[in-house]
Amino acid sequence: MGELSIIDDPARAGALSADADAFPGWNAHPLYGNFGRALGAAVNTERGTYTAFPFAVADGDEVLLLGGATVGGGAVTSFGQPLVLALRGDLGKKRRKRAYALAFDHLRARAAAHGAATIRVLGADSDGPLGDVDLACMDQQAQPEAHIHGVVDTTLPETELHSSLRDSYRSLVNWGRRQMEMQYVNADNADRELFDQYPEFHARIAGGARYGAPYWDVYWNEITNGRGELGLGFLEDGRLVTGTLVVDAAAASYYASGVYERELFDKPLGHFPVFDAMLRAGARGTATFDLGEIFPAGAADEKEVQIGFFKKGFTSTFRLRTHWLVDASAG
The pLDDT score that the predictor gives to residue 215 is: 97
What percent of the chain stands above pLDDT 70?
97
Lowest mean pLDDT among 3-12, 52-61, 102-111, 268-277: 3-12
* Mean local confidence (pLDDT), 274-301: 95
The pLDDT score that the predictor gives to residue 264 is: 80
How large is the angle between the packed helices 93-114 and 132-139, nearest 10 degrees?
Answer: 60
CA distances from 313 to 42, 166, 250 (A): 32, 5, 25
From the list 25, 113, 9, 22, the residue with the least C-alpha distance to 63 is: 22
CA distance 156 to 165: 13
The secondary structure of 109-146 as a DSSP string is HHHHHHT--EEEEEEEETTS---HHHHHHHHTTPEEEE
Residues 82/113, Cβ–Cβ less than 8 Å? no
Q: Interior CA angle at 67 toward 115 and 9, to 5°? A: 80
pLDDT of 12 > 90? The answer is no
Which sign does the torsion angle of CA 135, 136, 138, 143 carry? negative
Residues 212/46, Cβ–Cβ less than 8 Å? yes
Residues 276/182, Cβ–Cβ less than 8 Å? yes
- Residues contacting residue 92 through CB under 8 Å, at least 6 positions apart: none
* Mean local confidence (pLDDT), 154-171: 96
CA distances from 300 to 231, 296, 305 (A): 28, 7, 6
Residues 277/246, Cβ–Cβ less than 8 Å? yes
Residue 9's pLDDT band (cuts 50, 70, 90):
confident
Which sign does the torsion angle of CA 60, 63, 66, 69 carry? positive
Q: 258 in helix, strand or coil?
A: strand
The pLDDT score that the predictor gives to residue 61 is: 85
The pLDDT score that the predictor gives to residue 15 is: 67
The pLDDT score that the predictor gives to residue 176 is: 95
Lowest mean pLDDT among 96-105, 224-233, 262-271: 262-271
pLDDT of 18 > 70? The answer is no
Mean pLDDT of the chain: 94
The pLDDT score that the predictor gives to residue 32 is: 97
CA distances from 267 to 38, 163, 305 (A): 36, 20, 20
Looking at domain 4-145+323-327, its CATH superfamily turns out to be Gcn5-related N-acetyltransferase (GNAT) (3.40.630.30)
How large is the angle between the packed helices 167-179 and 271-284, nearest 10 degrees?
Answer: 90
The residue ranges of every structural domain in the chain are: 4-145+323-327, 155-286
pLDDT of 149 > 80? The answer is yes
Q: Identical fold at 4-145+323-327 and 155-286?
A: yes
CATH topology of domain 155-286: Aminopeptidase (3.40.630)
pLDDT of 1 > 70? The answer is no
300 vs 241, which has greater pLDDT? 241
